[in-house]
Amino acid sequence: MERVVVGITGASGSIYGKRCVEVLISKGYGVELVVSETGRKVFEYELELPLENFISSLPEDLVNVYSPSDLFAPVSSGSYPVKGMVIAPCSAGTLGHIASGATVNLIHRAADVNLKEKRPVVLVFRETPLNRVHVENILRVVDAGATVLPASPAFYARPKTVEELVDFVVDRALTHLLGKSCGLFKGWTP
């Protein structure tokens, strides 16, 4: 079974990370989950759901959860076999750490090792408007091999719910990570 690292940071948009985990599991992927300290707070605030309750609802055999401070975790090594990594949502601070190579927590380190191993790394960036530092950091991580995918849903499928908007972004992120669509939305057909 292929495994994917999922990072959830403190940017608004925890629903993207939650949905990524759910979809990956539904598609038969294992998940290596890392939630930053602020990511935990934002997750619980935005979703009105204790993170432990979400984690306990997941199949134990498919999900490993790591502390963001555990730099000894398996995902901190490039030799640990994973398909790649998605950070959803990705905060500006996390983007900056990845762009500079300064790994302060396990999310930064896992992104760094996946980039060095030439594995897909998708950053669902959730910041607006952008300042020059954001743009320069985006350029740095793209040059290093990452995909920066702003959390910008499309409206051509005429979404009716927030869930449909979320699924558009999640499908686009996972398509870039996995190399195939998860079928969460109907593609463009004029």
The whole-angstrom separation of Cα 159 and Cα 18 is 20
Q: The tokens 């432990």 sit on which residue? A: 52
Query: What percentage of the chain has pLDDT greater than the value 70?
Result: 100
Cα separation, 123 vs 94, in Å, equals 9
**3-178 carries CATH number 2.70.150.10:** no
Q: Is pLDDT at 133 greater than 90 in this prediction?
A: yes
CA distance 117 to 185: 31
Per the structure block, which two tokens stand in for 67? 């502390």
CB 71 within 8 A of CB 107: no
Torsion over CA: 90, 96, 100, 106 (sign): negative
The counts of H helices and E strands in the chain are 7, 6
pLDDT of the residue at 157: 87
In one-letter notation, the amino acid at residue 14 is S
Whether the CB-CB separation of 88 and 174 falls below 8 Å is answered with no
Note the pLDDT of residue 36: 98
Work out the pLDDT band at 100, boundaries 50, 70, 90.
very high
| pLDDT tier for residue 189 given thresholds of 50, 70 and 90 | confident
Lowest-confidence pick of 19-33, 113-127, 176-190: 176-190
